[in-house]
Amino acid sequence: MEKKLIYKMIRQCFQQYEHEACEADYEKLYERIVEEQAQEEQVPLFELINDAVYEYLTN
């Protein structure tokens, strides 16, 4: 369930930037977000997702 939610939130971020990504990119971002979420429990999920997508797009 959580994985679907995170994928949906990632997709929404990509739509904001008018960008498409492949399944491998979604999986890479998902793994990174879950890892960061475990380390930084106080940071809201949407912030982690927005930061990860923004960094992905700018690098």
Q: Percent of the chain, pLDDT > 70?
A: 98
pLDDT bracket for residue 39 (50, 70, 90): very high
Does residue 31 surpass a pLDDT of 70? Answer: yes
Amino acid at site 51:
D
Tally the residues of the chain. 59
Nearest to 49 by CA among 19, 14, 1, 20: 14
pLDDT bracket for residue 41 (50, 70, 90): confident
Does residue 1 surpass a pLDDT of 70? Answer: no
